[in-house]
Amino acid sequence: MNYHDLLKIPLAQLLAEYPYLEDFFSSFGLQLQAGDQTLQQYFDALDPDKLLDLGLSREQLGKSLHDFLAGMLSLEDSTEKVESLTIIGGYDKSGTAEALEITLRPGQIICIVGPTGSGKSRLLADIEWVAQGDTPTRRRILINGAVPDGKWRFSTEHKLVAQLSQNMNFVMDLTAEEFVRMHAESRLVTDPEEKVTQILKQANQLAGEQFRSDTPVTSLSGGQSRALMIADMAILSRSPIVLIDEIENAGIDRKKALELLVREEKIILMATHDPILALMGDQRLVIKNGGIARIIHSSDTERKNLAKLEELDNTLLALRNRIRSGDTLEVIIQ
């Protein structure tokens, strides 16, 4: 929608869709109130003496608003729709060609497996950097089958990838609710309070131990902070690609976390040593000596084994919860 179209919209509808307009006018000492009056009518009704006292002309205010809206609307439309991510193979540490091309799509879970130091994090970094043959592996990454615009590589405002790493530390003196609200408002969402409530509720469903909305983020445990970031990433982040490094060590409900991300139509790439997570993926990329050595598609037999592994995992989870709650393990384990 362009600037001239916005002038014809009633203020009640305008403020509901673009709440940051209220902050714009208040910065000039003016009040914008919801009602049936259009933005153009509001401009026409402005008291010239009031504007004179503020050191403004109607033309100056109109130009400032035009420039402000152009910038804000460009931010809202900045996220490219990603239909596919293609990895074109490079070379391993010995110089052997990977000789492969893999195309991934939203809703897929791709697991990256291999020994510590094999090159899993390097692959994640290549994708995050949108490598174009200019990293040690010389891999190339395509978005929607083409070389992506340079803004996706070099601009901090345009991020195709959101990454959850093994190590996380909060340094801001904010509550969990304040942290999420700040992110929601920076994303210019039209219903920030609803998003804040949704993210906090979802985070507590993922966390091993629930936390209050007024808990300082610096007081959250490792599992709680990762649960908060996964919920925030799924619901609020515009990044269509999610990279996760060893979620099994996060202390969260990993199955629910992946289901949430899949539901939000993210492309998920996950480095893991966990057999349950590995079998939950659509494909596994096996990394050896810095290169992709093999691509494994989950078989029917593996799916059956996954069900058995989940039963074992649930048994272990129940035992861990008994320990956490101070109970004994003087029970017969089935």
219's tokens: 């007081």
Coil, strand, or helix at residue 271? strand
| Separation in Å, CA 287 to CA 87, 114, 300, 314, 316 | 14, 5, 23, 29, 29
For the whole prediction, is pTM greater than 0.85? no
Calculated CA dihedral for residues 280, 286, 292, 296, nearest 10 degrees: -60
Contact 144, 135 (CB under 8 A): no
Closest CA relative to residue 90, chosen from 81, 99, 80, 82: 99
- CA-only gyration radius of the chain, Å: 25
Residues of the chain falling short of pLDDT 50:
78
- Helix/strand/coil for 202: helix
Which pLDDT belongs to residue 291?
95
pLDDT (0 to 100) of residue 319: 84
The DSSP H or E segment spanning 293 is strand 291-297
**Looking at residue 9, what is its pLDDT?**
85
pLDDT at residue 1, rounded to an integer: 56
Q: Are 249 and 225 in contact (CB under 8 A)?
A: no
Distance of CA 45 to the CA centre of its chain: 43
Spell out where the chain has E strands. 85-88, 101-104, 109-113, 140-143, 161-164, 241-245, 267-271, 283-288, 291-297
Question: Can you name the residues that pair with 297 across neighbouring β-strands?
Answer: 283
As a residue count, the chain comes to 334
> Residue 271 corresponds to which tokens in the numbers above?
């480095």
Count Cα atoms within 13 angstroms, Cβ side, for 30: 24
For residues 12 and 104, give the distance between their C-alpha atoms in angstroms, rounded to a whole number.
42
